[in-house]
Amino acid sequence: MKNFCIITNSRKDKDMETAQAVKSFLESHDCEVKVFDNVDKITNEYVMIDPKEIPEGCECIITIGGDGTLLHAVKGLNQVDCVFVGLNKGNMGFLAEISMDDMEESLKKLLDDDFKVEERMMLKATLIHDGKVVQSTDVLNDVVLHRGAEISVSNYIVHVNGDLLNRYTGDGIIVATPTGSTAYNYSAGGPMARPDSHLMIMTPVCSHALGSRSIIFSKNDVLEIEIGEDRKYNQESRCLSLDGDEVIKVVAGDVIKIEPDLNSIKIAKLDESSFV
The answer, yes or no, to whether residue 132 has pLDDT greater than 80, is: yes
Q: For residue 75, what pLDDT is reported?
A: 83
The answer, yes or no, to whether residue 274 has pLDDT greater than 90, is: no
Pick the range with the lowest mean pLDDT from 72-81, 219-228, 258-267. 72-81
Count other C-beta atoms under 10 Å from residue 52's C-beta.
Answer: 7
Q: For residue 275, what pLDDT is reported?
A: 61
- pTM for this entry: 0.91
Contacts of 108 (CB under 8 A, 6+ apart): 114
Q: For residue 33, what pLDDT is reported?
A: 97
Tell how strand 199-205 and strand 215-218 pair up: antiparallel
Pick the closest to residue 177 from 203, 147, 142, 126 (CA basis).
142
The answer, yes or no, to whether residue 54 has pLDDT greater than 90, is: yes
Would you say how long the chain is, in residues?
Answer: 276
- 13, 37, 67, 138: which one is catalytic? 67
On whether the CB atoms of residues 203 and 144 are closer than 8 A, the answer is: no
3-state SS string over the chain? CCEEEEEECCCCCHHHHHHHHHHHHHHCCCCEEEEEECECCCCCCECCCCHHHCCCCCCEEEEEECHHHHHHHHHHHCCCCCEEEEEECCCCCCCCCECHHHHHHHHHHHHCCCCEEEEEEEEEEEEEECCEEEEEEEECCEEEEECCCCCCCEEEEEEECCEEEEEEEECEEEEECCHHHHCHHHHCCCCCCCCCCCEEEEEEECCCCCCCCCEEEECCCCEEEEECCCCCCCCCCCEEEECCCEEEECCCCCEEEEEEEEEEEEEEECCCCCCC
The 10s digit of each residue's pLDDT in 146-155 is 988 777 888 9
As a whole number, mean pLDDT of residues 23-42 equals 92
Contacts of 274 (CB under 8 A, 6+ apart): none
On whether the CB atoms of residues 270 and 115 are closer than 8 A, the answer is: yes
67 is catalytic: yes
The answer, yes or no, to whether residue 227 has pLDDT greater than 90, is: yes
Domain annotation for the chain: domains and CATH numbers: 3-114 (3.40.50.10330), 122-262 (2.60.200.30)
